[in-house]
Amino acid sequence: MGSLPDLTQNKTVRILEDAERHGYGVIASIVYNVEHILGVVKAAENKRSPLIIQVFPWQVKFSDGLLVRTAADAASRASVPIAIHLDHCQDEALVKLAAETLPFDSIMVDMSHHEKAENLAKTKELVSYCHARGIATEAEPGRIEGGEDGVADTADMEGVLTTPEEVEEFIATGVDFLAPAVGNVHGEYGPKGPNLDFARLEKIRKQANGRVRIVLHGTNGFPDDVTRACITKGVSKINVNKLVLEDWNTHMRENASQMLLTQFMEEGVKHVVAMQEHQMDTRMSNVSLHHSFSPSEMAHVIVGSPAILLCAAMLYLALVRTLRYNRSNAVKREYPTRESYRNMTLEEAWKIQSRLAEVEFPTVFSSSVFFALFKVFLAIDQVEYRLTHHQTYGIPSVSRLLAATGQLTNVRTASKRAADTGVILTEVLLHHPSDPRAIDGIARMSFLHERYRRTGKISDEDMLYTLSLFVLEPVRWTKRIDWREVNEVERCAMGTYWCWLGEAMDIPYTALKSHGSGGWANGLHFLDELEEWSLGYEVGNMVSAETNKAVAKHTVDIALFNIPKVLHAVSFDLVSCLLEPRLRTAIMFERPSLLASLALKVIVALRKLLVRHFFLPRPYFLRKRWFSDELNADGRFNFEQYIAHPSYIRPTFYKRWSLNSWLIRMVGGSVPGDQGAEYCPQGYIITELGPDDMRGKGEHDMQATRDRLSRNGRIDCPFDRW
């Protein structure tokens, strides 16, 4: 049997998985003509948002697939992910024809006009047919009432609300997305508006349990808050027709006879763009409330007289006040008592932590991880010393200094190591714990350490200490310099997540107090004990040494690599201020000048003030991005951030010619695309990262880790068993 196409790479599947994972909704817009395609694609690019373009079967027949090919062409040229979908295909022959001959990413196999048994049998057959061609599928358990543009009205058959049993039956057909009937109808809702059965939707989501994505049909005239509520209940694909095309329709009726055709078309596209953008703002709803004050709305408020301007300013400040602590308060509401902490699942913990790194404290989290690396490099340096001197514990000495400088004189080697570590860590941390990319990252990390651990060159305590730094440093740095602290629930989430990750890395917790004596009550309990142990370890092991100074000097060189030479002394002083006294003593840096300490205090206080009172929280769609979501043409991923050298960065026009790139050029640094293949602009494969001599090695070991993780792949509640 030939191997089936890999559906995990299917565009609609990937778009919707990301949406469900991150709690937003993707607008699936019906298009009837080229102007609609132009409008929805432009809106998606303006909003940096994914999109699904869909057509009715009528369109396939009417234009003999021309509009579908046009949509696919637009999607392939867009800078955001766009999938092409066939809505409500009730004709079996047409499903097959479309799957065979047209560039659809997904097809809704709608057999709901048949009786249940036949519906299921036909759905199953067509799902396999589509899957064999790499096309994902959607189906409708229950029956959504009403008809729409050539889709047969099922009103003569009784509309049936979807039950959890039906969800199960449809999942058994292998279908990828389900469009349940929960009181939604095709067509119009009448004066009362939609009345959805949210309790049922909730049950359906529970029953689906992440095995299929949930789709919402029949959204004509939906108020924003209803759409938002549906997203909160787990809907990731939102089919829209009038919500995006209403103004276009009005425009047609009112202006077709009065405008020049070209002007009429251009104006029409603008209507589509505006409505589509509004929908895209709405879909982010449960992630943040920014849509209630989207930039386009702000523009309307701010033009006007000084009085209005003042009002707007006050309104803005009040809004910042209301929204700034929203995310922090939301998690506290979710887990109101310490008792409730033990119910936190790994998935929830991961989600809370990702939000901290992507939107809440992106700058401080990433710099603190860099400084965690700083400490880790000191540890690695000790290990390398042990390796070269066949010793289990290194004592700082002159020869060690030589060994260390030999390894690290080359800022490029150090920079590559920092980049690789950063890539693996972010791949693991920012992907769902069961995502293949997270698992590959863990497998690679395990493999890179395995050789040293087996031979005792890296002790379990070294591993535990490193783990503790990656979770504790961001908490400490946030507390010291960011606009608010990581709250207790968030710390619990971080503890929960890292406890799992440590286990996944096979790091024993025997050194921790409660190990063996009943274990930990929750993630927070674990984190507190880890911190206590880690501090003790640090006091004993972080001693000052000339070698440390050399390693640290090179690490700071990476951080300051792209800063003009004239500012080096000042920057060095500021970095030195940022370090905790114990670390500073260990690496034998001079005490920073009084002026630098003062300057840093002012900068930190000013930033706190500005962020707390004047900045709206960063919306999710503007989250800090670390890597590409899609494989590039070379079958690799690209990284998006760099400090010293542009490792793994794709040399796009923007990346090469942005203001930042010009500044880097002026100090003689490299920007993406410079130096040929030196900085791997083609990207990385997770399983190839690490030192050059490990390249291409370890597949066997990594597969063993993957198998082990999938065997005890529990991603529910890590503290249940204790």
Site residues, Zn ion (CB under 5 A): 217
CA dihedral 551, 555, 556, 557 (to 10 degrees): 100
CA dist., res. 102 & res. 657, Å (int) = 38
351: left (phi over 0), alpha (psi -120 to 50) or beta: alpha
Rounded least distance, CB 124 to Zn ion, Å: 20
- For 341, what's the count of Cα atoms within 13 Å in the CB-facing half-sphere? 22
Residue 327's closest CA among 476, 202, 484? Answer: 484
Pick the closer one to Zn ion by CB: 217 or 324.
Answer: 217
CB of 69 to Zn ion, least distance (A): 23
Contact of 641 with 366, CB cutoff 8 Å: yes
CB of 138 closer than 8 Å to CB of 178:
yes
Q: Of 40 and 357, which has the nearer Cβ to Zn ion? A: 40
- Give min distance, CB of 88 to Zn ion, in A: 5
Q: How far is the CB of 151 from Zn ion (least distance, A)?
A: 7
| Token digits of residue 445 | 């990390």
On whether the CB atoms of residues 335 and 490 are closer than 8 A, the answer is no
Nearer to Zn ion, 217 or 416 (CB): 217
**3-state DSSP of 253-303:** HHHCCCCCHHHHHHHHHHHHHHHHHHHHHHHCCCCCCHHHHCHHHHHHHHC
Show the tokens assigned to 324. 């700034």
Rounded Cα gap, residues 165 and 163, in angstroms: 5
87 is catalytic: yes
Radius of gyration, alpha carbons of the chain: 28
Q: Which is nearer to Zn ion, 139 or 442 (CB)?
A: 139
Torsion of CA 269, 270, 276, 277, to 10 degrees: 150
Nearest approach, Cβ of residue 16 and Zn ion (Å): 16
Kindly tell me which of 146 and 441 has the beta carbon lying closer to Zn ion: 146
**Active-site residue, from 73, 87, 224, 573:** 87
Q: How far is the CB of 197 from Zn ion (least distance, A)?
A: 17
Judged by beta carbon, residue 124 or residue 217, the one nearer Zn ion is 217
Shortest distance, CB of residue 154 to Zn ion, whole angstroms? 11
Nearer to Zn ion, 217 or 355 (CB): 217
Least distance from C-beta 214 to Zn ion, angstroms? 13
142-173 residues labelled b (16+ CB within 10 A) or e (exposed): bbbbbebeebeebeeeebbbbbbebbebbbeb
CA distances from 256 to 30, 155, 198, 226, 268 (A): 21, 34, 41, 33, 10
In which element (H, E) is residue 539 found? helix 523-541
Q: Which helix or strand (DSSP H or E) is residue 240 part of?
A: strand 235-240
Nearest-approach distance from CB 283 to Zn ion, in angstroms: 18
- State the Cα–Cα distance between residues 296 and 618, nearest whole angstrom: 16
Six token digits for residue 456? 């005792």
Query: Backbone phi, then psi, for 56, in 5-degree steps?
Result: -85, 155
Looking at the Cβ atoms of 153 and 630, the one nearer to Zn ion is 153
Cβ at position 241, least distance to Zn ion in Å: 9
Residues 445 and 451 sit within 8 Å (Cβ to Cβ): no
Q: How many CB atoms lie within 10 A of CB 657?
A: 12
Least Å distance, CB 217 to Zn ion, is: 3
Residue type, 377: F
Element (DSSP H or E) covering residue 422:
helix 411-429
> How much of the chain is helix, strand and coil, in % rounded to 5?
60, 5, 35
**What's the length of the chain?**
722
Q: Is the dihedral of CA 53, 54, 55, 57 positive or negative?
A: positive
Nearer to Zn ion by C-beta: 15 or 30? Answer: 30
Least distance in Å: CB of 715 to Zn ion? Answer: 33
Q: Are 504 and 472 in contact (CB under 8 A)?
A: no
**Which residue lies nearer to Zn ion by CB, 148 or 529?**
148
Nearest residue to Zn ion, scored by beta-carbon proximity? 217
Distance CA(293)–CA(316), nearest Å, equals: 9
Instruction: For residues 659 and 651, give the distance between their C-alpha atoms in angstroms, rounded to a whole number.
Output: 15
Q: Is 221 or 396 the residue whose CB approaches Zn ion more closely?
A: 221
**Residues acting as catalytic residues:** 87
